[in-house]
Amino acid sequence: MGLMGACVAKEYGGLGLDYLSLAVAVEELSRGCASTGMIVSIHNFLYANLVNEKGTPEQKEIFLKDFTKGCIGCFALSEPGAGTDVAGIKLHAKLDGDCWTLNGKKSWVTSAIEGAATVTFATFDPELKHKGLVCFLVPMDSEGLFRGKKEPIMSVSVCLRAATACTVTMEDVRIPQAYMVGNQGDGFKIAMGQLDQARIGIAAHAVGIAQSALDTAIDYAKKREAFGRPLTRLASVKDRLTDMCILVETARMATYRAAVDVSTKNSAMAKYIAGRNAAAVADHCVQILGGRGLSTHYPAERHYRDARGTQIYGGVTDIQKRLVGHFLLKEHDAL
């Protein structure tokens, strides 16, 4: 369908769509399979969009054209000792002639096992902290790059287990200067800008999971009878379904707003709302199904696990709340 290059320019094989269109696609894919939605979201918002918007013509030829046709791109930011604290990145980049040498380890790199290239952030001077970061495009078949074992993630779909993540270790990996995105010291700004996009994708991902949980609950409540009538006729169940509907629609509107008016505040708010709401909706779903909600023969428990992850990856909800507060006060000159 071309969704692996949804927002990529048509000249490089993309569809040339906007972020809202991509968000809707991620939502619907996640409604059917959270793993597939997650793969498409991260590939687009964190990899393809970055290369499309910030890459040089040479970089786009190498790292974009094939990635709209089936090759998967990754985003390597987190490390064993650096996640939310991006300035704490330790993967070291040393300039050697017209090449950079990379040494260090990245954690939780989604699709790294299947991926063909990754956006990687490193430091050329740890003393400079966030000002010393640099961004590279790194082929996954580079000499000295090693993939770790697949992480057994809780929230992956129980049947397909499609979305993988693993550590990526780099030992004297040599990358041409031409593969650097932007300039030295631009890494932090690039990472933060891309995370603003990523949170839109994760919010859409959460909305899709929540909608699927609501679908599951309604379908079950219509068929299951108790006290001589369908569960939908019981006030307590009807109240839960109503709450679920409100939570889903609230998250959807916040996500769509963030997609058409991209800012750190809006994307953080969308992710915060959508992640928390998805978890609440999934919890209601399990409760409505009762004992069957705990059974792996029914999708409710899968929705419950999948929803929980949306409050973690792409920035934990605690940080999203702080970001919203910071930019709210900044808007009102109240910092």
Q: Does residue 52 lie in a domain region?
A: no
Residues 6+ positions from 165 with CB-CB distance below 8 Å: 108, 109, 110, 111, 112, 150, 151, 153
Look at residue 49 and tell me whether its pLDDT is greater than 90.
yes
- Domain containing 307 equals 189-331
> Sorting pLDDT into bands at 50, 70 and 90, what band is 159?
very low
pLDDT the model gives residue 5: 97
Residue 313 lies in a domain: yes
Residue 254 forms part of a structural domain: yes
Q: Which residues contact 9 (CB under 8 A, 6 or more apart)?
A: 16, 52
What is the C-alpha separation between 298 and 111, in angstroms, rounded?
27
Sign of the torsion formed by the C-alpha atoms of 128, 133, 134 and 136:
positive
Evaluate whether residue 303 is within a structural domain. yes
87-125 per-position pLDDT tens digit = 889 999 999 999 999 999 999 999 999 999 999 999 999
**Confidence band of 154 (pLDDT split at 50, 70, 90):** low
Q: Could you tell me if 121 and 47 are in contact, meaning their C-beta atoms sit under 8 angstroms apart?
A: no
The domain tally of the chain equals 1
Query: Residue 67 domain-assigned?
Result: no
Asked whether the whole model's pTM tops 0.85, one would answer yes
- The pLDDT tens digits for 162-214 are 788 999 999 999 999 999 999 999 999 999 999 999 999 999 999 999 999 99
Q: Is residue 51 part of a domain?
A: no
Which CATH number characterizes residue 234's domain? 1.20.140.10
Mean pLDDT of 135-155: 88
In a domain, 273, yes or no: yes
Tell me which amino acid residue 160 is.
L
Is residue 93 domain-resident? no
